[in-house]
Structure 1
Amino acid sequence: MKELDQLRERYLIIGNRSLLDLIQITWIEHRDQAIVLGYLLKTSNIEGKIHRQKKLISTLENGTNTD
C-alpha cells in the first residue's frame, strides 16, 4: 500500500479527487524499474456503471505513465 500512497502523491488531481479515486486497482506487477497496474476505470452511463480494464505503467525513476 506504500506504493499506492506514493502514486497518489505523484499523479493527476481531478477536481478534489485523484486519479486513484477514479479507478479500482485489480493487480500490481513489478517489471524491471516499473510498476504495472491492472485497473478498472469507474464510469457511469444511463444503464449504470461501466468498467474498462486497462494497464497503467509507471516508471519509478521519473513518475511518468503510459496507457
Structure 2
Amino acid sequence: KVRFVGYAFQIEMKFKAITSGFHVLEIPIIFTDRTLGESKMSTKIFKEAFWGVIQLKLEVCLKGGNKYE
C-alpha cells in the first residue's frame, strides 16, 4: 500500500523497492525553473516528504532488519 502523494510518493516507492531487495537504478530528471505562476510545492507537501522519510526509516528500525512491509 502506498501512503504518500506528491513528491513523497517517489521517495516511498524507491524506499520500498530497495528494502524489498530490488536493485534500483536512478536516472536523473532535470527540472526547469518555472517562468510563470507559482510553485506547486505547498507546505503540506513539504511536510509529508520531510516527515515521511523519517517515518519510513523509523518503521524499519523499530521492526528490526532492513525489510519494509
Normalization by structure 1: what TM-score? 0.23
Q: Which has the larger radius of gyration?
A: 2
- TM-score with structure 2 length normalisation? 0.22
More strand by share: 1
Name the structure, 1 or 2, with higher relative contact order (CA <8 Å, separation 6+).
Answer: 2
